[in-house]
């Protein structure tokens, strides 16, 4: 019998990346979502396609052997599926983890299988599985007298994922267009004597931190910097933005600063990191991805937060007295990403900037305390952006 994975999140990353790789590894995938239209499409259509786009052309994979359940209306069915599954994954967004934790917690508590279920959150955030596990282990979701034995029923492993999903065709339905390059790295240490799941697409490692920070502070920093500078200059796509020599230099300067941190902190060689940066710039410049700057830049409040792609590396560099000028430039552009149609966070950022004193903005949005060496560098940036909004 095929192994079974229960996957939360029927969006493009869920269908086009996680489920695709699980399907190719021989798993039956059970999609869980609360969006009626997605669940209905998955239930109605027994197959969809994932088109991988790269410099060498396109490759189409057909995805089938899946089912779909609406957790909003059929929670008991979701619990039953998890109690007999081998793996739980999710791609729902970091802010949604607390909402999926209760049903996962209930299911884990009911498990009696001798091998614990693997739980892997596939989110663009550092330590996302730890965050999910924290919600699951909360007394509201798991009886406290059962916490000491939860490792007998579930093992939680952090992961780092890297794959660009561009804007999709308006009539694509379930079909997903995605870049051919991907990286899915998972910490294998939690599985210990039980062994990790057999998924060839995953790179299993003993220390995930270098991979997480290198990816977040290179791919995500570069991608977002290009988006925010591109938006400010009226560019349509990331490719178009990076064709602008000034924007291209701004992005390279940002990645020079984050590379300094990565090399110093994780012992990655200068040459290896430079090759990685060059590869990333080439990837995000791919014209065939048609990656719209507003899509990449959306959710600026999250992207300006303490552990994210700009403030995260800049804060560490500032603590050691290193240069952060280029990252500060990108932070300014991100603060200027306001009132963008279809992006609730950009509207909220606009409200915060218009109604809050600059120091409070830095504390609230960036999560920095006033004594931090980066704090005083961001305050004048916020003040400059605020003046421009008046």
Let me know: does 19 contact 27? Beta carbons within 8 Å.
Answer: no
Structure tokens at 235: 């560019």
> What's the CA gap between 142 and 14, in Å, rounded?
26
Phi then psi for residue 223, to 5 deg, are: -60, -50
Annotated catalytic residue within 21, 106, 137, 215: 215
Phi then psi for residue 159, to 5 deg, are: -140, 165
User: At CA 77, angle to CA 76 and CA 83, rounded to 5?
Assistant: 90
How many CB atoms lie under 10 A from the CB of residue 79?
Answer: 18
- Listed in sequence order, the residues at least 6 apart from 358 whose beta carbon sits closer than 8 Å to its beta carbon are 379, 380, 382, 383, 386
Paired residues of 4 in beta bridges: 28
> What's the CA gap between 19 and 120, in Å, rounded?
13
> What's the CA gap between 10 and 300, in Å, rounded?
23
Cα dihedral 49, 53, 56, 62, rounded to 10, equals -10
> What's the CA gap between 31 and 180, in Å, rounded?
23
> What's the CA gap between 385 and 390, in Å, rounded?
9
Let me know: does 160 contact 212? Beta carbons within 8 Å.
Answer: yes
> What's the CA gap between 107 and 184, in Å, rounded?
26
Q: Which is nearest to 230 in space by CA: 308, 304, 285?
A: 285
> What's the CA gap between 331 and 262, in Å, rounded?
19
Is 98 a catalytic site residue? no
Strand order in the sheet with 203-205: 159-162, 183-187, 203-205
How many CB atoms lie under 10 A from the CB of residue 16?
Answer: 28
Catalytic residue ranges: 215
């Amino acid at each position: 019998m095929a192994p079974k994975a229960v996957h939360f999140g029927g969006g493009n990353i869920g269908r086009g990346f996680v489920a695709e790789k699980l399907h190719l590894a021989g798993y039956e995938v059970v999609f869980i979502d609360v969006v009626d239209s997605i669940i209905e499409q998955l239930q109605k259509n027994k197959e969809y396609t994932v088109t991988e786009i790269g410099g060498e052309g396109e490759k189409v994979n057909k995805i089938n052997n899946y089912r779909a359940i609406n957790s909003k209306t059929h929670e008991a069915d979701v619990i039953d599926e998890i109690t007999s599954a081998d793996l739980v994954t999710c791609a729902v967004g970091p802010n949604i983890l607390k909402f999926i934790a209760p049903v996962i917690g209930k299911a884990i508590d009911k498990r009696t299988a001798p091998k614990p279920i693997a739980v892997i959150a596939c989110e663009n955030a550092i330590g996302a599985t730890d965050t999910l596990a924290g919600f699951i282990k909360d007394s509201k979701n798991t009886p406290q007298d059962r916490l000491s034995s939860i490792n007998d029923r579930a093992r939680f492993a952090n992961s780092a994922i890297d794959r660009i999903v561009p804007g999709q065709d308006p009539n694509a339905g379930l079909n997903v267009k995605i870049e051919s390059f991907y990286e899915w790295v998972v910490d294998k240490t939690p599985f210990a004597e039980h062994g990790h799941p057999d998924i060839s697409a995953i790179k299993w490692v003993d220390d995930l931190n270098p991979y997480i920070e290198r990816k977040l502070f290179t791919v995500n920093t570069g991608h977002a910097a290009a988006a925010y500078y591109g938006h400010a200059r009226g560019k349509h796509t990331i490719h178009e933005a990076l064709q602008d020599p000034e924007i291209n230099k701004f992005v390279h300067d940002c990645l020079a600063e984050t590379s300094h941190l990565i090399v110093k902190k994780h012992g990655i060689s200068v040459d290896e990191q430079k090759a990685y940066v060059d590869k990333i710039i080439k990837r995000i410049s791919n014209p065939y991805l048609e990656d719209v700057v507003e899509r990449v830049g959306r959710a600026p409040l999250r992207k300006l937060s303490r552990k994210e792609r700009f403030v995260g590396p800049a804060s560490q560099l500032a603590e050691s007295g290193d240069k952060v000028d280029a990252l500060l430039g990108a932070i300014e552009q991100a603060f200027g990403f306001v009132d963008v149609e279809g992006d609730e966070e950009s509207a909220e950022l606009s409200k915060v900037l218009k109604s809050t004193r600059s120091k409070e903005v830095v504390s609230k949005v960036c999560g920095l305390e006033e004594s931090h060496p980066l704090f005083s560098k961001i305050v004048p940036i916020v003040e400059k952006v605020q003046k421009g909004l008046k």
